[in-house]
Chains A and B, each alone.
Chain A
């Protein structure tokens, strides 16, 4: 069962001035009392206590502050003790060893969070948020995860569920009380359309959410020698890619990562696109085209110092139906011969126009409306898509003049799927997810 007491080093391994060991479980206080010089059994909850950690022979291991947090107002809803030690893995490991010797066991990965979930302290969306916080690469990703942990996503979803419940209630009343004047009006249909639009908006924000979490995949493309690699280096402010005057220097995809205004961008410098018989170059071009397909953002680099080549015109045409392309006219330091409408003039060589480019990169990808606590993982996204699909079915039923009790079936489904986003409705899929997420042996 879960009444055993677990412990782990809660701070990242490595050099730091302070390190924390967290203990959680019904015996957390018994354990700390055996290794800490000040008895805590009768000390008030949520206090910081000064003393020393000692071994069985009363040798001092470290001078520490112990935070005492008694159940249920703790992260796991169990008794939790946190020992603030001096940093350094030797000391931390020694303290942890002492703690384990006295009745705790080493926690599994994510086990504190698992307990918080099992004890009803956080919901499934929040569990996932914790995992995201741990893995957060940038500030924006962290904000989003914290938003979810805060229950902001749950609040959004609850709000949608309430609206849906109102719609369902109106239908149910008209069915159960036919003799009373409660005929359904067009409002129900309108309300469903409005709700569905909102859900669709949230779903589209899911892509933003994903970009925030995983970084915006940005492909830098163009013909050979347009200055793609120079642009990459300029953005990175280091010489990551090899730059020469020889066309076709970059043959494979060069990947690098930068942080712009708190958001993560994964930059792909690709091979120049051209007609070629060189097998290696052909592979590079194929890869470049694949990058265009999967990228969240495309930087098409053009050489402003000469007229457009035919292949560049073709390339521009092929990208016309995409709304995630930024046209970059490079070599603005030279004599500009061509300026494409809406393009950004830069000089990778002289570092001109880069700030403006960076700003547009942010706008074009995650935009201004960064959603705190928006949808960010695949499971949530699928549930949301299913809810939308159910509402679409309702609208089809209404359109086909099917009776109200038929609408109700899909309305109830939509309600259930919304619940699944925040782990509230009890569907088999959730349970499966639960069992696969946590190792439930023994």
Chain B
């Protein structure tokens, strides 16, 4: 029997990050995938990034993951969203060439030492004394291993639905994993049934673009990876197109609702509220006269176009009718029909923050199998699970990112503390300390952690240290770079519509004015060093939003205080006399590690927390 260190089950976005992290940290790793073709596949939208998801990709990159570097090789359009809003919510989103993304990722995997790819279905995870000891393939081979990362995505016990038609496959008609579900249940893991879906893909040659608004990429392209500098990336970008549904579209859907498996009761799984199908949108927002539809290319060398906003599981003919009622799509031909997909996933409350199951050592779970949705959410979990599978073997404490350090921390804490009753999508509003968790400073926040784990090489790290120092130096310099009230400065201010100066002031002080920017002072700031744009950006944000940032830092202090109030893991909640029974049950299930975590559990009220605090205080005094 072959011996390995870590078995990664699944080759999607979670599986890729987990495998790469494990192998790069020196562990003998095998990625088991049902179909080589489905490695790093994007079976739904052709985008990476977007609000909060872009933040995740940047954080993955800062920690030493692959997604950012890979998409920088495979994007076909790049946009920074929310530019009119504050820096905290600037969000990078790109259109991906799906085929290229997959190919580039496979190339990286194949060239990684310690990593093997095997096209095999895993049917059983072998556990002895509550510890993972191996995995068994459908063909009967057993691999001994010390840790497993389960990243089965939407393939476990999956079925796809188009109207009355049902097919028992994974996404894109690929084989589904049928055996492992039973095995998971046998191991005592609570299984859930979730649902998601995807719209039709249509033929670019049958679209009338004149009736749609083109949407172009940004002139100035910002890369996802901190290891690429802006000028490295040039690209002929492809446009997307915007059109709208209308009342005819809505009527077609209304008339056929009974044929949607969503409404006929065939679908048992719970779908995401934040990424609803068009049927859902029509029913829930019946007063809206139109919904946006984005038509986006799926790649450079394909005529397939993705119809964002029209996710549907209605019968094929109905889908065609509704598409053809939309301006620009009157003569459209469908290449792939939209479908809903139902799949098994686990209740993530069974996981620790390290993404290891609470009751089986060495058993890690990542990605959609944990109830999340989205490529970026999956990749982030895959990276953390991969790292922690290694740290577990090395008997080191796990890597846990807290809510004040990154969106990854918010994502995982939400999943393992609050759980989720629908596919979980990342959103900036889920983060309490948004102004600190910006996409532009992900490296400042997380590079150290990536370096300490061992995924950031020395050269990259030294560059980062240099950048950090340069930012600090420049901020200090600007705080003492005084400008007088001379004519030159007054004319600069006048040009920008800014109030004239009455007395001398530092440039740092001037930058606090919303209408002024760093580059406005190029002319008068004689000692200005030559700095990279990313450094200038940090300097500018730090100074401009200083007041807000310091307020947010205070909030973080409060938060950390409660996170540090540890709850002993042997606490008997039944003993805490005054806790309400709902709280006792929730606390027993989740076993929070701190008062902070306990306070985020739904069903645990502030009064319960007071009771718990008093109980702990009394325990402490008794000792």
Chain A contact residues, CB within 8 Å of chain B: 1-3, 115, 117-120, 123, 172, 174-181, 400-406, 408-410, 412-413, 423-428, 431, 434-435, 438, 440-442
In the complex, the answer to whether B52 meets A408 with C-beta atoms within 8 Å is no
**A400-B514, A440-B614 known; A175+B606 contact, CB < 8 A:** no
Q: Quick one: CB contact mask for B63-104 with A, threshold 8 Å, 1 for yes?
A: 000000000000000000110111111010000000000000
Q: Cβ of A412: which chain B residues have Cβ within 8 Å of it?
A: 432
In the complex, the answer to whether A118 meets B607 with C-beta atoms within 8 Å is yes
- Report if B127 contacts A (CB, 8 A): no
In the complex, the answer to whether A424 meets B606 with C-beta atoms within 8 Å is yes
Q: Cβ of B82: which chain A residues have Cβ within 8 Å of it?
A: 175, 178
In the complex, the answer to whether A1 meets B618 with C-beta atoms within 8 Å is yes
Q: Cβ of B89: which chain A residues have Cβ within 8 Å of it?
A: 175, 403-405
Once the chains are docked, how many angstroms separate the CA of A435 from the CA of B614? 8
In the complex, the answer to whether A118 meets B611 with C-beta atoms within 8 Å is yes
In the complex, the answer to whether B561 meets A428 with C-beta atoms within 8 Å is yes
**A118-B614, A178-B91, A427-B558 known; A2+B578 contact, CB < 8 A:** yes
**A175-B428, A404-B86 known; A180+B614 contact, CB < 8 A:** no
In the complex, the answer to whether A172 meets B428 with C-beta atoms within 8 Å is yes
Once the chains are docked, how many angstroms separate the CA of A435 from the CA of B294? 56
In the complex, the answer to whether B81 meets A117 with C-beta atoms within 8 Å is no
Which residues of chain B (251-306) have a CB below 8 Å from chain A? 292, 294
Q: Cβ of B609: which chain A residues have Cβ within 8 Å of it?
A: 426
- Report if B344 contacts A (CB, 8 A): no
Once the chains are docked, how many angstroms separate the CA of A197 from the CA of B300? 56
In the complex, the answer to whether A176 meets B548 with C-beta atoms within 8 Å is no
In the complex, the answer to whether B86 meets A403 with C-beta atoms within 8 Å is yes
Q: Cβ of B615: which chain A residues have Cβ within 8 Å of it?
A: 1
In the complex, the answer to whether A175 meets B621 with C-beta atoms within 8 Å is no
In the complex, the answer to whether B607 meets A117 with C-beta atoms within 8 Å is yes
A442 to chain B, nearest CB (A): 7
Q: Cβ of B428: which chain A residues have Cβ within 8 Å of it?
A: 172, 175-176, 405
**A118-B610, A440-B617 known; A406+B577 contact, CB < 8 A:** no
Q: Quick one: CB contact mask for B587-623 with A, threshold 8 Å, 1 for yes?
A: 0000000000001000001111111011101100110
8 closest cross-chain pairs (CB), A and B: A403-B86, A172-B429, A120-B607, A405-B86, A405-B88, A178-B81, A401-B514, A403-B85
Q: Cβ of A426: which chain B residues have Cβ within 8 Å of it?
A: 562, 599, 606, 609
Residue of B nearest to A434 (CB): B610
- Report if B545 contacts A (CB, 8 A): yes
The listed residue (B52, B86, B515, B618) touching A440 by CB distance below 8 A is B618
**A118-B607, A405-B435, A406-B548 known; A179+B81 contact, CB < 8 A:** yes
Q: Cβ of A404: which chain B residues have Cβ within 8 Å of it?
A: 85-86, 89
Once the chains are docked, how many angstroms separate the CA of A167 from the CA of B270? 29
Q: Cβ of A438: which chain B residues have Cβ within 8 Å of it?
A: 614
Please give the number of chain B residues whose Cβ is less than 8 angstroms from any Cβ of chain A in the complex. 49
Q: Cβ of B610: which chain A residues have Cβ within 8 Å of it?
A: 117-118, 431, 434
Residue of A nearest to B88 (CB): A405
**A120-B605, A408-B434 known; A435+B617 contact, CB < 8 A:** yes
Residue of A nearest to B426 (CB): A176
Max chain B C-beta neighbours (<10 A), residue from A2, A426, A440: A426
In the complex, the answer to whether A409 meets B429 with C-beta atoms within 8 Å is no
Chain B contact residues, CB within 8 Å of chain A: 51-52, 81-82, 84-89, 91, 292, 294, 427-429, 432, 434-435, 514-515, 545, 548, 551-552, 555, 558, 561-562, 575-578, 580, 599, 605-611, 613-615, 617-618, 621-622
Once the chains are docked, how many angstroms separate the CA of A115 from the CA of B610? 12
The listed residue (A120, A177, A424, A434) touching B608 by CB distance below 8 A is A120
Once the chains are docked, how many angstroms separate the CA of A427 from the CA of B557? 11
Residue of B nearest to A123 (CB): B607
Could you name 7 residue pairs across A and B whose Cβ atoms are closer than 8 Å? A120-B580, A172-B427, A175-B89, A178-B81, A403-B85, A410-B551, A440-B617
Once the chains are docked, how many angstroms separate the CA of A120 from the CA of B82? 43
Q: Cβ of B427: which chain A residues have Cβ within 8 Å of it?
A: 172, 176
In the complex, the answer to whether B86 meets A406 with C-beta atoms within 8 Å is yes
B597 to chain A, nearest CB (A): 12
Once the chains are docked, how many angstroms separate the CA of A409 from the CA of B554? 11
Once the chains are docked, how many angstroms separate the CA of A300 from the CA of B410? 63
Besides the known contacts A175-B429, A178-B85, A405-B87, 15 further A-B residue pairs in the complex with CB atoms under 8 A apart: A1-B577, A117-B607, A119-B611, A120-B611, A403-B86, A403-B88, A404-B86, A405-B88, A405-B435, A410-B551, A412-B432, A425-B606, A426-B599, A434-B610, A441-B621
Residue of A nearest to B288 (CB): A181
Q: Cβ of A440: which chain B residues have Cβ within 8 Å of it?
A: 614, 617-618, 621
In the complex, the answer to whether B577 meets A3 with C-beta atoms within 8 Å is yes
Once the chains are docked, how many angstroms separate the CA of A41 from the CA of B92? 68
Q: Cβ of A427: which chain B residues have Cβ within 8 Å of it?
A: 558
Once the chains are docked, how many angstroms separate the CA of A180 from the CA of B562? 37
B623 to chain A, nearest CB (A): 12
Q: Cβ of B91: which chain A residues have Cβ within 8 Å of it?
A: 178
The listed residue (A175, A400, A401, A423) touching B51 by CB distance below 8 A is A175
Once the chains are docked, how many angstroms separate the CA of A175 from the CA of B562? 29
Q: Cβ of A431: which chain B residues have Cβ within 8 Å of it?
A: 610, 613
Residue of A nearest to B610 (CB): A434
Once the chains are docked, how many angstroms separate the CA of A425 from the CA of B84? 33
Q: Cβ of A3: which chain B residues have Cβ within 8 Å of it?
A: 577
In the complex, the answer to whether A402 meets B514 with C-beta atoms within 8 Å is yes
Q: Cβ of A402: which chain B residues have Cβ within 8 Å of it?
A: 86, 514, 548
Max chain B C-beta neighbours (<10 A), residue from A118, A178, A423, A425: A178
Q: Cβ of B558: which chain A residues have Cβ within 8 Å of it?
A: 427-428
Residue of B nearest to A419 (CB): B606
In the complex, the answer to whether A176 meets B81 with C-beta atoms within 8 Å is no
In the complex, the answer to whether A178 meets B51 with C-beta atoms within 8 Å is yes
Q: Cβ of A174: which chain B residues have Cβ within 8 Å of it?
A: 85
Once the chains are docked, how many angstroms separate the CA of A117 from the CA of B82? 45
Residue of A nearest to B290 (CB): A181
